[in-house]
Amino acid sequence: MQLIKKLVLASRSPRRQSLLRQIGLQFEVRESGVDEDISVLMPPEETAKLLATQKASAVGKNLDNAIIVGADTIVVLDRDILGKPQSVEGAEEMLKKLSGRTHSVYTGFALLDRPTNQSVADVEKTQVTFRTLSSEEIHDYVRSGSPMDKAGAYGIQDDYGAVFVEKIEGCFYNVVGFPLARFYTAMENFQKHLMGK
C-alpha cells in the first residue's frame, strides 16, 4: 500500500506495531495518554471504537499533516468486560473465568486525517474458545509476567496463550490486537476518499 502522507500509530503496543510492519507499513509511534476507562453503559463494539477514536484524536492534536491510527482491544465474557489485569491475583482470576469457555474479542480502530479532521472508525469481533486450564498452568503463565499488559490477561501469540486456545471463529489477528484485513481495506478506502477518488 502506498501512503499519501505520514502515518502515525497512537499506540505503544508492540503487537500492533509488529502487525503493521508485517503488511509493509512505515509509521511513527506516539502514545496517546488516553485513559482506557471502559463504560458499562455502551455496547463493547461502541466502547472499542470510541476509545480508538479518542486515542487518534489525542495524538492528532499535535500533528499538522498525517493520518493517525488509534486502536483498542476489549475482551468480553458474559457481558463483563475484562480489561488489563491490575494484579497477579486479578490475572489468575480472569484466566479461571475464561477456562473452558467462549469469549468475544473486539478491536476497534480509528483513522483520523490531519489537517482535515476527517475520520472513520470500525470494529472487528472474534469468538475465542479456551480449553479447560489447570490451576498450575494458570499460575505458571501469570508468573511469566506475559498476561499483565493484555486485555483478558492472555496473548494468543504467547507460548502459553497459544496452547490455551482451542478454537477461534473470525480474524486471528484481531485477537493479537489488530484486525489486519479490515484495517487494510479501510485504510485504502480512506486514502481514496481523501484524494477525492
DSSP labels, 20-35? HHHTT---EE------
The strand pair at 7-9 and 66-77 is best described as parallel
34: in domain: yes
The answer to whether the beta carbons of residues 68 and 77 sit under 8 Å apart is no
Q: What is the pLDDT of residue 38?
A: 67
- Structural domain count of the chain: 1
Active site (annotated) includes residue 72:
yes
Is the pTM value of this prediction over 0.85?
yes
Give the position of cell 506495531: 17
1: in domain: no
Using DSSP's 3-state secondary structure scheme, residue 2 falls into coil
182: in domain: yes
User: Could you tell me the residue range of the domain that residue 179 belongs to?
Assistant: 7-194
pLDDT value at 139 more than 70: yes
Question: pLDDT for 11-33, tens place per residue?
Answer: 988 999 999 999 999 999 999 98
Q: Which is the catalytic residue, given 35, 37, 64, 72? A: 72
2: in domain: no
Residue 39: pLDDT band with limits 50, 70, 90: low
Nearest Cα to 98, choosing from 133, 144, 140?
Answer: 133
Q: What is the pLDDT of residue 45?
A: 93
CATH code for position 149: 3.90.950.10
155: in domain: yes
Q: How far apart are CA 135 and CA 140, in angstroms?
A: 9
